[in-house]
Structure 1
Amino acid sequence: MEPGKRSAALWDSFTYWWGRRSLQSRLIAAYIFIILGPCLMVSFYSYRAINNTYVRDAIDKNSYLLQMEKLHINNQVEVMERAVQMAYEDKDVQDYLNNTEEPDVGELINFNDYVFKNITRIQYNNPSIEHLRLYSNSDVHEIWPNIFRESRVASELWYQKALKLKGRLSWSFQNNDPDLMERYSAQPPKIVPKVSLLREMSIPSDNHIGMVQVDMLLERFTTKTYSTVQDSQSQMFLVDEDMQLFTRLDHSFLPDNKEMSAAIKSRLESYRETGEWDINYTENGKSYLLINTPLEHINAYLLNVVSMDGVMKDISHTRNLIIGVNIGFIILVTAIAYVLNAFILKNLRRLTETMKKVRRGESYSGITIRGGGEVGELAHHFSKLMNTINTLVAQAVQKQALSKEAELRTLHNQIDAHFLYNTLENIKMLAEIENQRTISDALTSLGGMMRYNFKWSGEYVKLRDEIRHIENYIEVMNIRFEYPVVLIMNMEPLYLELEVLKMSLQPIVENSVKHAWTGDKAGLEDRTIHIDISEAEGDIFIAVRDNGIGLTPERLSVLNASVYAKEESNPSLPGVGISDRRAGGIGLRNVHQRLQLFYGEEYGLELQSEAGSWTTVFMTLPKVLLTGDKQP
C-alpha cells in the first residue's frame, strides 16, 4: 500500500474510532488538548526566559567582580608607576648610578643618610610593593637590598627586554623568580609569582647608566586571582602579552580540563586580532563562561572562568518544577472537567431519551430541566416544538378553511375597488355631459388619489409620483375653499427621479391646508404653498412653506416635542391638548419616525415658524435613486 493511502486509511480508522466515543470522553480529550498546547508553549518560553535570566545574572555578577578586580589592578599599576617615577627622577640617584669614580667614605655616608633613606621610604610608604631595586652599569658600591650591580641580572630575559625599550616602561610577569638576595644562599629559592615594572635609565641620552625595578607579588597585585577559594564555581586568570597564564593552584579548573589553558590562549589571540570574543566554553560535558576584560596599561588580560554547574542545577530544578506544576494542573483540570461534564451531560442524556420515546410514537408529556445553558434552552425549545406540532396538527383543517376565506375576501376587496373606480368614471362622464368641468376635474384628481393610495406596491416611489399626488389633493381640496390654495414648485427636473417614501410629503401639505389659514388668516386671498428642493453633501433638503398664521414659540415648542417624541404623547399631560394633536402633530410625527426608520437617525423633519407670517417644515433625506443606488 502506498504511504499516502496508508495515511488516509489510518486517518479514517481514527476518525471512525473517535466518532464512536462518548461526548464526555471527547470533551475531556478536547480539554486536555486545548490546555496542553498553551501549557507547553508557556512552559517552553518560561523555561527559556528563566534560563536566559540565570545566565544573564551569572554574567552580570561575574562581570561586576571582574571590573572591580580590574579597578584594583589599575590602582596597583598606578602605585608601581609612581614608585618607578620617583626613583627615576631623583637627581642624587642618577648621579650615584652614573658615578665612574670610587666615592669616598663621606660621600657614601651622606648618600646612605639621605638619598638611600628616601628610596627606602618609597618602598615603606607603599606596603604592596615587594622590592624597589636600582641596577647600576658601573662598579658602584652595592647597598642592599635596593642598589645592585647590573651584572647580577644582565642575562635575564626580562632585563634584556627592558633595555630594548630605551626608557619606556616594561612589564614582566614571572611564575618563578627567586629573590636576588637569596640566589647564592644554601636555602632553596621561594617560588612566588610576581610582576615587575622596569625602566631603563640613560643620562645623558643614549648613555645607559642603569635600571629601576619595582616588584609586587601577584597575590597583592590581583588579590582575587590568588585569593583563598570562597567560590569554587569561578576562577580568575591573569594572562600577559606572551600568553602566560597566572592563577591559583588550589581548586583550579585546569587539572580536570586539560584543554582549557590552550582554549583560553587561542581565544585571546583571536580576540587580539579581531576584537570578537566567544564567551561560551564546554569541556568534559561541563559548560563554562569565559568573561574577559583587557588591561590596557600592562598589555595583559583579566579572565574570569565561571562554572555553570550551579546555574544548571537551579535551571534544572526550575524546569522540573514547571513540568510538575503542568502535570498537576492538567490532572486537576481533567478531574474537574470530568465531574462537571458528567453533571452537565446528565440533563442532555435525559433529553436524548425523551426524544427517542417521541420518535417511537409515544405520547409526549413534557420534560423539566432545571438551570439554564444550552441544554436547558434546547429542552425548552424542544418542548415548544412539540407543543407547536400538536397545535399545528389540531389546526390543520381550520387553516385550510381560513385560507379559502382569505381568498374570497381578497376577491371581494378587488371587486369593491373596481366598483368605486367605475362609479367615479360614470359620475365624471355625467359631469362632462352636463358641462361641469370643475366637477369632472375634481373627480379625475380624486380618482388619481384613490389609485395612488390603493396601489401600495412598496414603501418607495419617485418624487414625481408624490408631487402628482399632492397636486391632485390640492385640486380636490380647492373645491371647498372660497380662495384656492396655490402650489408653487421650485426644483430642478432631475430631482423628480429621486426616491422618497410614499405618503411622506402629502401629510405635510395636508397639515398646511387644514391649519394655515384659520383665524386672522381665514380671509386671506393669497394662499400659497412653496415646495423648494436643494442638495448639500449628498443629502436632499425639501422645504414645505406656507404663508399662514404661523405658530407662537410656545406652540412651536409643544409641536416639536410631539414630533420628536419616541412614543405618542399623552393628551392628559400638561401642555399637550386635543387642539395640539389635531394641529398636525400626529401626522408629522409619523412622517418623522418613518424617515428615521427607513433612512437613519440623522434624517427626519425640522419645524420653523413665525407667528402671523409663515410655517416651514424641512425634510432631510439621502439622495437615492428609486433603484436604491446612493448618488455621489
Structure 2
Amino acid sequence: MKTLRISNLTLFVKMFILLFLSVSLPVTILGVWYFNKSSEQIEHVTSALLMENLQQNRLRIEQFFRQTELHSESIIASQKLEVLDNELEDRLFLSRSLSLMNELKGSYELTIYPADEMRYRTYSLLIQSGVKSPNSEWIEKAIQLKGKGYWYFDNNSFIFARMIRAMSDLRPLAVIQLSFPATLVNQQILSPAEYPNFQHYIVDDELETVLLAGKDRTLYPKEDFFLSEIPLADLPWKLVAGIPEKDLIGPVETIKRFSLLLVLASIGLITVLLGLITNSFISPIKYVVGQMKKVQLGQLVPSGRYGERSDEIGQLARGYNSLIFGLQELLATTKQMESEKSRTEMQMLIHQINPHFLYNTLDAIKWRADHVKEETIAEMVTSLSNLIRYSINNGEEFTTVEREIEHVKSYLSIESLRNHDTFQVVMNVQPRALNMPILKLIIQPLVENSVRHGLSKLSSGQGKILVRVFIEGEELVCTVEDNGPGVSEEVQTRMIQPNLPSGETGGVGLYNVNRRLNIRFGSHYGVSLTNRENGGCKVTIRHPLM
C-alpha cells in the first residue's frame, strides 16, 4: 500500500484542501464560539432576571414581616397586657391571657406565655390552642433579648417572639408569639409567568429549606438549576430564586442543533463552491500544461483560449503565446541564418577554387607589363593581387585596423589609376587603434560606396574623401565622409533590406557590413548614414573593442 504524501497530490487536490480548511475551520470555530457565547449570554440574562425578581420579592417579604413586627408594637402600645404579671398563678394567668389573645391577635395567631422559662413547660400544657413548641429555646432567647423581638420558623409557620415589659417600671409581663403560616408568604412572592417552573425558597444560613413555593422543601441540585440568592434585611434567612436549566437551555439546544445543521450545510455549499473555484483556476493551467507538452513534441501551437482574461490566468496565456511567437520568430531567424551561412560557405568554396591559378595569371600579366614598360598596368595588377589575396586569406573573420587600412589603400590605388587621380583621400587613424581587432572587409565597402555613388557625380579633381578611425569609450569608431550629393532615403532603406531591381547594385556593400556587425555583435553595433550639413554623406561604423 502506497503512503499518501502531499507531494503526490495533484494541484487541484492541494488547492481544494487548503481552501477548504481555510474556510471550514473558521466557520466551525465561529459556530462553536457563537454557541458558547450564547450560553454565557443566557446565563448572564438569567442571573440578571433572577436578581431583579429577588429584589422585588425581598421588598414584598420584608414589608410583610415588618407588618408583623409593627403589630407587636401596637400590642405594647395598647398597655392591655399590664393586667398580666409574672407572679400570677398559671390558671389565672391563662384565663386573663386567653381573653387578651382573642382581642389582640388581629390577622395572626397570638400566644401569650409567662416571662419565666421555668413555668413554660407546665403552662404550655394548659394551652389548648396556639402554636406549641417542643422545647423552650425560643422563650429563653426572647427573655435574654429583654424586649427585642426575633424571628424563627417552626411547624411550617413563621413566628415572631418578643418579651413584653410594663410601661411604668419595665418589669417583665409576658412573652408573646405572633405566627402565620408559610402559605401567606407564598402569596407575597411573584414569579415570571413565562417560566412556570420558576421556584422561590426562603432558607437559613446553612441553606436548609424553610419554604418552597408550591413544592416540597427540598432544594434542587445546583447542577440542574440556575440559582441566585439575596439576604433578607433584619431576618435570619435568605431568599433564593431558581429556574431549571432545561427551561433555558432547551431553546439553546434547539439553536445548537439548528446551528450544527447550518454549519454542515454551509460546509457542503462551501465544498461545492470551492470545487468550482478551484477548477476554474486549475482548468486553464491544465490547458497551458497540455500546450507546453505539445511544445516538447515540437508543435509550436499558440493558445487560443484565456488570452482575453484580465487576471493572472490571462497573463499566463498571453505570456505563453509570447513565448511561442518568440520561438517561431527565433526558429525563422535561425533558419534564415543557416541558409545564409550555407550560401556564404558555398560562395566561399566557389571563390576558393584554384586561387593559385588566379595568382599565377596575375603574376604573368604583371611580368608582361614590366617587360613592355607598362608601369601603370603592373601597379594595378599588383594592387588587384593584394585585394584578392586579402579577401580570401583562408576565410579568417578578423584582422587588425592596420591591415584593413592597407586593404583600403590597395583599393584606392586601383580606383585612382582608373580615374586618373580625379579625387583626394585623407586618412586619419588614431595610433593606438592600429593594432585593434576588427571584422575584415568592413571599411573598404564604405570607401567604395563614396567613390561610386558620391564622387562619380562631381567634376574631375573636386572629389574628397576623409577616412577616420578612433577609439571612443568601449567602441572602435570608423567614419567615411565625402563631399558628394549626399545619401537619399532610398539608399538608407536599401541598407536595411536591399531589394534591388535587376541590374542595380547600390547599397549591397553597406547592407553586407551592417548585417555582419548585427549578427556578430548585436543590433547596437552596425552602420549609420547621415547627410553632412555642408553637403556630402557621412557613414559611421561602430565596432566593440576586443
Q: Equivalent of 2:145, from 165, 187, 193?
A: 165
Q: How far did 1:360 drift?
A: 0.8
Shift in Å at residue 374 of structure 1? 1.9
The equivalent of 1:37 in structure 2 is 25
Q: Residue 372 of structure 1: which of 310, 313, 318 is its match?
A: 310
Cα deviation per residue 1:101-139 (whole Å; 9 max; x = unaligned)?
Answer: 99xxxxx99xx9xx999x64xx65xxxx42345445699
CA distance in 2 between counterparts of 1:49 and 1:156 reads 55
1:515 aligns with none
Query: Amino acid of the residue matched to residue 200 of structure 1?
Result: M
Q: Distance in 1 between matches of 2:191 and 2:163?
A: 33
Residue 334 of structure 1 is matched in structure 2 by 271
Q: Structure 2: how far apart are the matches of 1:47 and 1:228?
A: 26
Deviation of 1:69 (Å): 1.4
What is the identity, as a one-letter code, of the residue corresponding to 2:259? I
**1:134-167 Cα shifts (integer Å, max 9, x gaps):** 445699xxxxxxx999998796443333122211
Q: Which amino acid aligns with 1:208?
A: P
- The SS at the match of 1:297 is coil
Q: Which amino acid aligns with 1:211?
A: V
Letter in 2 for 1:64: E
State whether residues 32 and 334 of structure 1, in contact with CA within 8 Å, keep that contact through their aligned partners in structure 2. Answer: yes
Cα 1:416–1:231, aligned 2, differ >3 Å: closer, same or farther?
farther
For residues 229 and 366 of structure 1, what CA distance do their matches in structure 2 show?
Answer: 75
- Deviation per CA, 1:468-527: give whole Å up to 9, x if none: xxxxxxxxxxxxxxxxxxxxxxxxxxxxxxxxxxxxxxxxxxxxxxxxxxxxxxxxxxxx
Spell out the pairing of 1:172-571 with structure 2 (5 A cutoff): 172-174=152-154, 176=155, 193-203=156-166, 207-223=171-187, 231=195, 233-240=197-204, 244-248=208-212, 251-252=215-216, 254=218, 260=221, 281-282=222-223, 287-369=224-306, 370-395=308-333
Cα root mean square deviation, aligned: 4.7
The question of whether the paired residues in 1 share the 8 Å contact of 2:303 and 2:320 is answered with no
Structure 2 unaligned blocks of 5 or more: 90-94, 120-126, 342-396, 406-426, 432-471, 475-546
Q: CA deviation at 1:60?
A: 1.6
Segments of 5+ residues of structure 1 without an aligned counterpart are 1-9, 103-107, 140-146, 177-192, 261-280, 420-453, 457-632
Residues 241 and 299 of structure 1 are in contact (CA less than 8 Å); yes or no, is this contact kept in structure 2? yes
- CA shift, 1:317, in A, is 1.7
Letter of the structure 1 residue corresponding to residue 321 of structure 2: S
Shift of 1:173: 0.9
Q: CA deviation at 1:367?
A: 2.8
1:6-155 to 2 correspondences below 5 Å: 13-15=3-5, 18-90=6-78, 92-98=79-85, 120=104, 124=106, 129-135=107-113
Structure 2 contact 192–198 (Cα < 8 Å) conserved: no
2:382 equivalent in structure 1: none
The number of aligned residues is 337
Letter in 1 for 2:164: M
Q: Which moved more, 1:158-167 or 1:372-381?
A: 158-167
User: Aligned partners of 2:86, 2:289: CA distance in 1, in Å?
Assistant: 121
- Secondary structure at the residue paired with 1:299? coil
Structure 1 pair 218–326 and aligned structure 2 pair: CA distance change class (3 A): same
For 1:350 and 1:152, the matched residues in 2 are separated by 101
Following the alignment from structure 1 to structure 2, what is the Cα–Cα distance between the partners of residues 101 and 349? Answer: 116
TM-score (norm 1): 0.45
**CA distance in 1: counterparts of 2:108 and 2:10, whole angstroms:** 87
Query: Secondary structure of the residue that 1:216 maps to in structure 2?
Result: strand
Which string of whole-angstrom CA distances, capped at 9 and with x for unpartnered residues, describes residues 17-59 of structure 1?
A: x333333233222222111211122112111101101111222
Amino acid at match of 2:276: V
Paired with 1:137 and 1:383, the residues of 2 have a C-alpha distance of: 116
User: TM-score scaled by structure 2?
Assistant: 0.52
- Asked if 1 retains the 8 angstrom alpha-carbon contact of 2:161 and 2:178, the reply is yes
Report deviation, 1:200: 0.5
d(CA) in 1 for partners of 2:56, 2:24: 47
**Counterpart code for 2:16:** I
Q: CA deviation at 1:232?
A: 5.0
SS, match of residue 73 in structure 1:
helix
Q: Deviations over 1:164-215 (max 9, x none)?
A: 22111111211x2xxxxxxxxxxxxxxxx22121210233667321123322
DSSP 3-state at the match of 1:13: coil
| Cα shift at 1:375 | 1.9
User: What is the distance in 1 between the residues matched to 2:66 and 2:428?
Assistant: 123
Say which one has the larger Rg: 2
Q: Is the 2:62–2:233 contact (alpha carbons within 8 Å) kept by the matching residues of 1?
A: no
Secondary structure of residue in 1 paired with 2:301:
coil
Q: Give the whole-Å Cα distance in 2 for the aligned partners of 1:333 and 1:48.
A: 24
